[in-house]
Structure 1
Amino acid sequence: LHVCDAGALFTESGPDAGHGFGDRARTHASVALRAAADAWPVLERFLELRVPDQVTLDTDELVSLLDHGVADLEQRGVSVLWPRTLGRDLTATAVLDRRTAPGRREEPLNTGVFGAEALFSFDWQIALHGEPLDEDEMARLTSAAVPMLKLRDNWVIVDPRIARKAKKRLVRTVKPVQALAAALTGVVEIDDLPEQVIVGASLLEVRERLAGAATREPVAVPPALRAELRDYQRHGLTWLAELTTLGLGACLADDMGLGKTVTLIALHLHRGSGPTLVVCPASLLGNWEAEIRRFAPGVAVRRHHGAGRDLEGLTGGFVLTTYGTMRNDAAALDRVGFDLVVADEAQHVKNPRSSTAQALRSVGSRARVALTGTPVENNLTELWAILDWATPGLLGSRNAFRKVWAAPIEAGVDPDKARQFADLIGPFLLRRRKSDPGIAPELPAKTETDHLLGLTREQVVLYESFVRDSMERIERADEDVRRGLVLKLLTGLKQICNHPAHFLKQANPRLAGRSEKLDLLDEVLGTVLSEDGAVLVFTQYVAMARLLERHLETAGVPHQLLHGGTPVREREAMVARFQAGEVPVFLLSLKAGGTGLNLTRADHVVHVDRWWNPAVEDQATDRAYRIGQTKPVQVHRLVTQGTIEERIAELLARKRALADSVLARGETALTELSDAELRDLVELRPVESSPDGA
């Protein structure tokens, strides 16, 4: 500890002192020493000396200085300077490598490396000037009785924390996927602190294989596949083959319509090592069966759905089931011993606590693949649920994930966290969009139009009175009741914007002339039918779809309606009729018809009302705008001016990233608005003109 010339201050403080210091300097030195002694009590011995120039430290005091004294003194602004002959150059770094169990020989890291028997560990590596200590030096370090040691002809100060790490070389053993996670990010949490990791040779090869899995030379297309795979599909197949060969899961998150189904069929043929279970929404069973028979005609397909379900004698091929059936038959499915389990539209299990998600986790297989066009609808925890099913343990527990990754990334406080997270999930999540260069150049143009419409006089009266009455109740309500009232307000306003009869729940209403949405829909349908085209009409409300169905019946327009209650076989028949050109107008409820269906006969898509999440609307549009579409697609979004619909449309158009992170939470997020913010969102605003003067 350097105390400058404190002795001179105390022995030569008279007016003739040659050093030039006076009584004030002596006083300041005393105050400084007392402050330092408060931080590190050993310095109180200075204050007991008439000439406080030096003290001799014993071993315990030196350990105390190294252990916490230096840090405590620095907090008080006191620097500790060390003699040049004493170095503080010992460092400890976490090293991650494979650990071989006693009595087992180490096997190469290849097929099945991430099986249950593989074991990895973090160990502390102690180094001097960056060069690791050898075993003899480590032995001397761990047995040293004093915090100073002569290593390589130099005396070094041994920080007690480093000494403890040297004595306890093993930090902990970890499962293979946990080791892989640390290898990908280069960081591990030890005692709640991030530590840099040196990756041992046993994991470097795997890390490099994963990093290049989606870009390396593609594997051969299976001879039994009756399809020409596009380049990006071959790379997707190669990536899936690499990960599943290593015993890892994957999430293929390509845009809707880019051929995830045919890629999975190719993977099944490539592996050729047992049956594949596909779990999907009921509406997609027919699509999967048709695609398998089309692209792999020699492969057996068995539907495990409805009455008479049977898994006996299953040795290969595909088993197709729904999430509901899987939930009920999870134990029987687990006994089959599947090679692959595929979760299609995997966002259905984004809630890990749901009985469906838990049942899916209980069905065993050699590898798992999640398929989804929207891996993150609301927050990062949903992505955790999908990836933790595909590769359990990769992202840690749900609570640990929220603390380590989701919370800091969503708060935007640590840019490095976002980069590390991308490094971690990148090898397991493959995302391609139609707009990416070279992905789907053959797709025709897509034109999107927001049709701004007015409200009729009847709608204006309903809208304003409903806002007034609802806001009065909301402003008086307690928090729990308020949330329900806000949701009721938002739903009611959207119904009013659609049609007064929708909001009023009228049994046999007059429809014509009461909503500009209905008038514009008539115009669009007239154009489509005159050009021998076909149109998809989406609404989020089955009740509104019923009103449209009634209107089209009156007008004599051929149509059909699909909603959540439509039986699976009837859905398949509807798709076939539409694709064959027998029915030009297809009414669909957004949730039932927004995913999975292949409806490329349509060249127009109409969104009667706006959904809170643009990704859901995009998925619905992709029923028509997908590979196989040969005609330009026109998308029509009907938006009433001055209303909540226009406010939401402005937000979505201005910043879709906001929609991904906030509006995707839908009406629930809007319940958290203050009364003033909510009123600003829902109040009817004047517009420049309206056809009926409203």
Structure 2
Amino acid sequence: MSEKLKRPNKHAVKAVIKKATGIYDSLTSISVNDETVKQAIIQQAYALMHDSALREMANIPVDALNAEKQGIRVSALRNAGIENMYEVYFMSVQALVRIKGIGEETARKIRRITNEMYDAITVSREVRIDLRQKTPYQEKLLQSLYILRNGEDLRNKARELLAQEKNISTALQDIKVSSGFFRWLFSSKSKRISSVEAYQYLSDLIEGPFGTEAELCITEYGYIVSASSDQVYGDFEENAVAYYTMLEDLGLGAEKTLAGGLPAELVEKVEIYPLDLTYMKTSLRRYQIFGVKYILRQEKVLLGDEMGLGKTIQALAAIAHLKAKGETHFLVVCPASVLVNWQRETEKHTHMSSIIIHGLDKEFEFEQWKAKGGVGITNYESLSKLANRLNFNIGMIVVDEAHLVKNPQAQHTRALMACSRKTDRILYMTGTPLENRVDEMCFLIRCLRPDIARELSTIRSIVATQRFRNEIAPVYLRRVRDDVLDELPDLIENEDWLELNSVEFDSYYMAVKSKNFMAMRRVSWDVHVAYSSKARRLLELCDQARDEGRKVIVFSFFRDTLEKVCQVLGDRALGPITGAVSPSNRQRLIDEFAEAESGKVLVAQVQAGGVGLNIQAASMVIFCEPQIKPSLETQAISRAYRMGQVRDVQVHRLLCVGTVDERIMELLREKQMEFDVYADKSVAAAESLKEEPSIAWIREIIEEEAIRMIALQLEMGNE
């Protein structure tokens, strides 16, 4: 028996111990690394907020110490070379007393005010990643978030490998008996046997499939931990939502309003609703989880979240919950332009199948959906032809861009009403519940909850706003960006006013004279581009965007304007996207734009490119002319300024002085005020706002412009 227990070669034993210990320790470290990384993230986030607060204090002049007339001799500090509150922050009472003119009592007062100022800044400070200021604190935080996000599968793999081989730790202790002559000599027979078995076990383990998988796991995790700054920042730019969600999950998000002003009693009932997101691939923000629970509990809902807050993912999460509870068929109704986008979002965020029901094959596609279930995606026009065939239960109907459902007599509206009888759950979604008339929103509510609509009809005055909000709470939820997102970069809006040259003036005069409103709106674009002030400014802005590493999206209502934009920009332009472009080609252009280098310009008709598409790749938005509806501009801007955007977004409106552009801008401001008063407080008015019909308004504008142009011509003649 002793011959069989020949001690293994000590060098071989030590090699096995070294390799097995390295693998075991590395796997153990990886398996628990998420907790270590989370703690690091919390510490780094506070360090970043501290650094940001100090940077802000550097911009506060030392004069702020005397803002409340506390009798502090600020001049004494200035004479000592102290200019801002950042410098004061690092000075102790003793250091302040050494300054001529500052006594101990004043020094303590300065210290107290400085600390209060710092505390006020840090309390309001939020963790926000700024790509313009890549500080060491920010980079460390992003590095840890990168590891937490990208290493999850490998950490799970490490746990799985360790769970498969639970004897490694014991074997590493037992094998030590074989590592030296005297250990072997003075060990019992049983320990020698265990040592030899441990050596054989560990040798087979590290040289077999386990060792291969373990080393691959360790190597790949090492790549993640040692990722370069460019890799980390690149991943953040592509997945900013995921990064901010991780911060939120760790309690580092700002306390935001999740419920959009709903009554507390309803909020409490919504929050306790049990949610099953088994079929979701993507994590949701806290406000999105509340939205999903609201949709499911209330069953018939108008979700009016501001564009860019993720209404689509909330709808998909609600569908995923119902799928987990046994529902099989779901229907999404949307404009044809975003059919492909809905299918891609379903594939990206869920584990559910989807099929587009549209075009020549819609009959066959409908039967496929009916037989197999999943998410059927169709457009308003196709729905009219399929409604009478919906003779089975639907788990939920989602109506995207629901503000298009505003004419009770329209065929697609009647078809939608017929389909709605096939389900207990209907979700209308729109970021613009208010367009020209506030009562359009009331019509949407009447489609969902006639009982609530009847109550609303009794409210006749603006002073009843609070009552209206309470009445509408069971059916309408709206949150705006400022309520729920603390990480969105700045939105910088600019009005680029341009003087008409003689060629443009003559052309505009002819448009006014002929009373052609559409020609008047094309001011500066209705001349050759060589004479167009707007074309020249557009080119300057696109050059600026290229130099700043930005991409641009250009919007116009008019197709001939878009053609001229493409002519001016040449190879830099992609598109144009118009209503005539198929959904698949539209998505192809957007994908190409997303992959393109900075300086590329996506050209789109505002009615087509401004609806239902995600174009966060753009950080400059240019309007060739002002739009009559504020909703058109708001939708278009929100294509770029939405959750996931990491750069400040610059909006430029190209406008001509002394033209119809001025009157349209006045109209936009008036309508935006209406929107802010009603929609942004989860409330609509029960009667339409007192405004003149659009045709009458246009006639008035034409007449005013004609009178003004005649007076101008007379004035020029007199000169």
Q: Same fold (TM over 0.5)?
A: yes
> 2:375 is matched by which residue type in structure 1?
F
Superposition pairs of residues 248-327 of structure 1, within 5 angstroms? 249-272=300-323, 273-296=327-350, 298-309=351-362, 310-312=365-367, 313-314=370-371, 316-327=373-384
| SS, match of residue 331 in structure 2 | strand
Q: Which has the higher contact order (CA 8 A, sep 6+)?
A: 2
- Whether 2:595 is the aligned partner of 1:580: answer yes
Superposition pairs of residues 121-132 of structure 1, within 5 angstroms? none
1:382-425 Cα offsets, whole Å, 9 max, x none, are 112212222345314xxx97x644xx34xx4xx23x44332221
TM-score with structure 1 length normalisation? Answer: 0.58
Match of 1:450 in 2: 495
Give the Cα–Cα distance (whole angstroms) in 1 for the partners of residues 672 and 710 of structure 2: 23
| SS, match of residue 452 in structure 1 | strand
Structure 1 residue corresponding to 2:536, chosen from 509, 519, 522: 519
- Whether 2:468 is the aligned partner of 1:421: answer yes
Deviation at 1:466, TM superposition (A): 3.8
Preserved contact between residue 644 and residue 681 of structure 1 (Cα < 8 Å): no
> 1:292 is matched by which residue type in structure 2?
T
> CA 1:228–1:459 in 2, change beyond 3 Å: closer, same or farther?
same
Task: Please provide the CA RMSD for this pair.
Answer: 3.0
Match of 2:99 in 1: none
| SS, match of residue 608 in structure 2 | helix
| SS, match of residue 537 in structure 1 | strand
Superposition pairs of residues 7-86 of structure 1, within 5 angstroms? none
- Whether 2:578 is the aligned partner of 1:563: answer yes
1:288-343 Cα offsets, whole Å, 9 max, x none, are 111111111x21111111222333343532100011111121112x2232111110
1:647-686 Cα offsets, whole Å, 9 max, x none, are 3224534773257877998843514749876757888879
> 2:442 is matched by which residue type in structure 1?
W
> CA 1:339–1:544 in 2, change beyond 3 Å: closer, same or farther?
same
Give the Cα–Cα distance (whole angstroms) in 2 for the partners of residues 264 and 284 of structure 1: 15
Give the Cα–Cα distance (whole angstroms) in 2 for the partners of residues 214 and 291 of structure 1: 29
Match of 2:403 in 1: 347
Deviation at 1:221, TM superposition (A): 5.2
1:474-517 Cα offsets, whole Å, 9 max, x none, are xxxxxxxxxxxxxxx3222112x13233xxxxxxxx421x1110
- Whether 2:435 is the aligned partner of 1:435: answer no
Deviation at 1:432, TM superposition (A): 0.8
> 2:267 is matched by which residue type in structure 1?
G
Structure 1 residue corresponding to 2:673, chosen from 649, 657, 662: 657
| SS, match of residue 395 in structure 2 | strand
Match of 1:230 in 2: 285
Match of 1:467 in 2: 512
Structure 1 residue corresponding to 2:429, chosen from 365, 371, 377: 371
Deviation at 1:594, TM superposition (A): 0.8
Preserved contact between residue 535 and residue 606 of structure 1 (Cα < 8 Å): yes
Structure 2 residue corresponding to 1:490, chosen from 506, 517, 522: 517
Preserved contact between residue 340 and residue 587 of structure 2 (Cα < 8 Å): yes
Larger Rg: 1
Structure 2 residue corresponding to 1:390, chosen from 427, 436, 448: 448
Match of 1:78 in 2: none
Preserved contact between residue 659 and residue 705 of structure 2 (Cα < 8 Å): no
> 2:332 is matched by which residue type in structure 1?
V
> CA 1:355–1:294 in 2, change beyond 3 Å: closer, same or farther?
same
> CA 1:598–1:647 in 2, change beyond 3 Å: closer, same or farther?
same
Deviation at 1:270, TM superposition (A): 1.4
Preserved contact between residue 343 and residue 371 of structure 1 (Cα < 8 Å): yes
Give the Cα–Cα distance (whole angstroms) in 2 for the partners of residues 641 and 632 of structure 1: 28
Preserved contact between residue 495 and residue 652 of structure 2 (Cα < 8 Å): yes
- Whether 2:263 is the aligned partner of 1:212: answer no
Give the Cα–Cα distance (whole angstroms) in 2 for the partners of residues 683 and 432 of structure 1: 48
Match of 2:554 in 1: 537
Query: Quick check: which one's helix share is greater?
Result: 2
Preserved contact between residue 213 and residue 239 of structure 1 (Cα < 8 Å): no
Give the Cα–Cα distance (whole angstroms) in 2 for the partners of residues 271 and 465 of structure 1: 60
Preserved contact between residue 603 and residue 633 of structure 1 (Cα < 8 Å): yes
> CA 1:284–1:675 in 2, change beyond 3 Å: closer, same or farther?
closer
Give the Cα–Cα distance (whole angstroms) in 2 for the partners of residues 210 and 425 of structure 1: 14
> 2:359 is matched by which residue type in structure 1?
G
Preserved contact between residue 660 and residue 701 of structure 2 (Cα < 8 Å): no
> CA 1:685–1:241 in 2, change beyond 3 Å: closer, same or farther?
farther
> 1:534 is matched by which residue type in structure 2?
K
| SS, match of residue 317 in structure 2 | helix
Q: Which moved more, 1:351-360 or 1:374-383?
A: 374-383
Preserved contact between residue 612 and residue 667 of structure 1 (Cα < 8 Å): no
> CA 1:215–1:254 in 2, change beyond 3 Å: closer, same or farther?
same
Preserved contact between residue 256 and residue 619 of structure 1 (Cα < 8 Å): yes
Match of 1:99 in 2: none
Deviation at 1:598, TM superposition (A): 0.5
5+ long unaligned stretches in structure 2: 1-261, 677-687, 714-718
Preserved contact between residue 651 and residue 659 of structure 1 (Cα < 8 Å): no
Give the Cα–Cα distance (whole angstroms) in 1 for the partners of residues 645 and 590 of structure 2: 15
> CA 1:664–1:260 in 2, change beyond 3 Å: closer, same or farther?
farther
Match of 2:240 in 1: none
Preserved contact between residue 251 and residue 371 of structure 1 (Cα < 8 Å): yes
1:568-611 Cα offsets, whole Å, 9 max, x none, are 11011111111112681111001011111100110100011001
Match of 1:331 in 2: 388
- Whether 2:697 is the aligned partner of 1:670: answer yes
Give the Cα–Cα distance (whole angstroms) in 2 for the partners of residues 606 and 664 of structure 1: 29
Give the Cα–Cα distance (whole angstroms) in 2 for the partners of residues 567 and 443 of structure 1: 32
Give the Cα–Cα distance (whole angstroms) in 2 for the partners of residues 389 and 642 of structure 1: 44
| SS, match of residue 238 in structure 1 | helix
> 1:257 is matched by which residue type in structure 2?
G
Match of 1:633 in 2: 649
Preserved contact between residue 387 and residue 418 of structure 2 (Cα < 8 Å): yes
Match of 2:526 in 1: 500
Match of 1:31 in 2: none
| SS, match of residue 279 in structure 2 | coil
> 2:490 is matched by which residue type in structure 1?
A
Give the Cα–Cα distance (whole angstroms) in 2 for the partners of residues 255 and 500 of structure 1: 35
TM-score with structure 2 length normalisation? Answer: 0.56
> CA 1:683–1:588 in 2, change beyond 3 Å: closer, same or farther?
farther
- Whether 2:636 is the aligned partner of 1:620: answer yes
> CA 1:469–1:563 in 2, change beyond 3 Å: closer, same or farther?
closer
Preserved contact between residue 643 and residue 682 of structure 1 (Cα < 8 Å): no
> CA 1:362–1:281 in 2, change beyond 3 Å: closer, same or farther?
same
Query: Quick check: which one's strand share is greater?
Result: 1
Deviation at 1:220, TM superposition (A): 3.6
Give the Cα–Cα distance (whole angstroms) in 2 for the partners of residues 425 and 518 of structure 1: 46
Give the Cα–Cα distance (whole angstroms) in 1 for the partners of residues 702 and 573 of structure 2: 46
> CA 1:530–1:230 in 2, change beyond 3 Å: closer, same or farther?
same
